[in-house]
Amino acid sequence: LRSLLSDPTLLATKAYVAGEWIDADDGATFEVRNPARGDVICTVPDLGRAETARAIEAADRARRDWAAMTGKERAAILRKWYDLMVENADDLARILTAEMGKPFAEARGEILYGASFVEWFSEEAKRIYGETIPGHQRDKRITVIKQPIGVAASITPWNFPNAMIARKVAPALAVGCGFVARPAAETPLSALAMAVLAERAGVPAGVFSVVTSSRASDIGKEFCENPIVRKLTFTGSTEVGRILLRQAADQIKKCSMELGGNAPFIVFDDADLDAAVEGAMISKYRNNGQTCVCANRIYVQAGVYDAFAEKLARAVERLKVGDGLEDGVTTGPLINEDAVKKVEEHIADALAGGAEIVTGGKRHELGGTFFQPTVLKGVTHDMKVASEETFGPVAPLFRFETEEEVIAKANDTIFGLASYFYARDIGRITRVQEALEYGMVGVNTGLISTEVAPFGGVKQSGLGREGSRHGVEDYLEMKYICLSV
Ligand code: ADP
């Protein structure tokens, strides 16, 4: 991998704690593997609670001067960080593809997407406005100021090794917090590369640390039990989110949770079918189906069901599966063997219940964790694909008759992250977008993620919002000041 990089120093293999590149106290390491080939890329330090505590303490010391800077001063440093990410996008994308598997073009897209949050929040750093409120008594003057919450800590998954961290660290640093990131053990290299560039951009030592560790629950405990940490921000499964919320309860820590989804993607009779197929391709097969906003259940109205299934299958057959670093590849491997087993289990369960394969359905001939992009029809609500996130390249097509029926089915889940539908009738569009119990709705589009909009879920999909002007709020506390004159 190093030989593919124009700047080999971006491939950092030590942890970044308190402004220093360190090994674990006990010298322990863990391996980072390339999921396309199964080979070991490198090892990184396997830190524990002691090193994590040092990162937290350093963040606490460093954040005071950082917060004392003007918003404009912090903005200049963050802007520099953004510029460096964009300048080095190709190298960052190669590192990302190597450790995670998504195709190079998609990885590069993720780098620019992640960087866009750094740009956005560098701008927002100057706009942390408070409020004045007319007093409730003649001698009272009321002001509200917003202050950084303190040290924030993040735990993130492997599916977006750069962007999941960027969405959190950028608003935190913009408002003057210190930040400790623990990237997923599968994908620490993208996080470390971000730290290399943060250092170059002039982010002061200690303000941002990256704790590499294979022992997620130890690090999670340190984040929850260390009283210096005032804010925990997590992206991952609802299951782990629940554990962290319970742990964070002891010290009443503020939490942001971006958890699982079970996105419905609805195609009504009046939809532009080609556009719906295009949207479904992006929403379902981007990142090989491994995103929390991926279409998980595709509902197609009876009148267009067969036509949609046919068109979707033809589009899916044009995908090219392979090593993401090779030209023309659109679909990489799944992250690991467990992910493949889950996909196989969901397909087997659907077939046992009477579903049929339209295309795909099996492990790919390339072997390893490659899987054929799959379309299933005749899928019904009692099957696992209806209630669980598949997190793989399987499009299950459910048939429905009426608007009321599909809204009820779409909402029949504990999750409420992303949802999508395709229709033309303006009355229907208005009714359906209001009725879907989701934090985000894509209407006639399969791609909704952007730094300018608030990303987040309702129900058991999460707490808080990332991106947009609202994204800073998760890292701020309000202080009400009552002055008697
Ligand atoms: P995913 O299926 O995307 O890996 P998880 O919720 O299992 O979703 O993992 C998300 C992140 O949370 C990963 O970085 C993982 O290592 C971490 N994690 C898993 N279990 C725990 C835990 N008990 N405490 C803290 N972090 C955890």
If you measure from the C-alpha of residue 240 to the centroid of ligand 1, how many angstroms do you get, rounded to a whole number?
6
If you measure from the C-alpha of residue 236 to the centroid of ligand 1, how many angstroms do you get, rounded to a whole number?
6
For residues 471 and 453, the answer to whether their CB atoms sit within 8 Å is: no
What is the C-alpha separation between 89 and 76, in angstroms, rounded?
20
Query: On the CB side of 138, how many CA atoms lie within 13 Å of its CA?
Result: 0
Q: Which of 117, 180, 13, 226 is nearest to 455 (CA)?
A: 117
**225 CB burial (10 A radius; 0-12, 13-18, 19+):** middle
Residue whose CA is at the smallest distance from ligand 1 atom 23:
217
Evaluate if pTM is beyond 0.95. yes
What is the C-alpha separation between 34 and 376, in angstroms, rounded?
29
For residues 392 and 343, the answer to whether their CB atoms sit within 8 Å is: yes
Active site residues: 258
If you measure from the C-alpha of residue 140 to the centroid of ligand 1, how many angstroms do you get, rounded to a whole number?
49
Full pLDDT tens readout for the chain, 485 residues: 899 999 999 999 999 999 999 999 999 999 999 999 999 999 999 999 999 999 999 999 999 999 999 999 999 999 999 999 999 999 999 999 999 999 999 999 999 999 999 999 999 999 999 999 999 999 999 999 999 999 999 999 999 999 999 999 999 999 999 999 999 999 999 999 999 999 999 999 999 999 999 999 999 999 999 999 999 999 999 999 999 999 999 999 999 999 999 999 999 999 999 999 999 999 999 999 999 999 999 999 999 999 999 999 999 999 999 999 999 999 999 999 999 999 999 999 999 999 999 999 999 999 999 999 999 999 999 999 999 999 999 999 999 999 999 999 999 999 999 999 999 999 999 999 999 999 999 999 999 999 999 999 999 999 999 999 999 999 999 999 999 99
ipTM score assigned to the predicted complex: 0.98
pLDDT of residue 319: 97
What is the C-alpha separation between 90 and 6, in angstroms, rounded?
9
Maximal C-alpha separation, the chain: 79
Pairing outcome for strands 374-379 and 356-359: antiparallel
Residue whose CA is at the smallest distance from ligand 1 atom 7:
237
For residues 161 and 190, the answer to whether their CB atoms sit within 8 Å is: yes
Look up tokens 């992006």; give the residue.
282
If you measure from the C-alpha of residue 81 to the centroid of ligand 1, how many angstroms do you get, rounded to a whole number?
27
If you measure from the C-alpha of residue 246 to the centroid of ligand 1, how many angstroms do you get, rounded to a whole number?
15
Q: Which of 235, 241, 132 is nearest to 181 (CA)?
A: 235
pLDDT of residue 265: 98
pLDDT of residue 135: 97
Pairing outcome for strands 254-258 and 229-235: parallel
For residues 285 and 319, the answer to whether their CB atoms sit within 8 Å is: yes
Probe target for ligand 1 pocket from 154, 155, 224, with the most ligand atoms within 8 Å of CB: 155
pLDDT of residue 438: 98
Residue whose CA is at the smallest distance from ligand 1 atom 24:
217
For residues 120 and 170, the answer to whether their CB atoms sit within 8 Å is: yes
Probe target for ligand 1 pocket from 180, 215, 240, 257, with the most ligand atoms within 8 Å of CB: 240
If you measure from the C-alpha of residue 424 to the centroid of ligand 1, how many angstroms do you get, rounded to a whole number?
40
Query: On the CB side of 341, how many CA atoms lie within 13 Å of its CA?
Result: 3
Atom in ligand 1 nearest the alpha carbon of residue 159: 3
Atom in ligand 1 nearest the alpha carbon of residue 184: 14
Q: Ligand 1 pocket by C-beta < 6 Å: which residues? A: 155-157, 184-185, 216-217, 220, 236-237, 240, 243-244
Assigned token pair, 15: 């942890």
Q: What's the residue count for the chain?
A: 485
Q: Which residues contact 348 (CB under 8 A, 6 or more apart)?
A: none
CA angle 46, 292, 186 (to 5 degrees): 20
Q: Which of 464, 440, 478 is nearest to 167 (CA)?
A: 464
What is the C-alpha separation between 244 and 212, in angstroms, rounded?
19
Residue whose CA is at the smallest distance from ligand 1 atom 18:
216
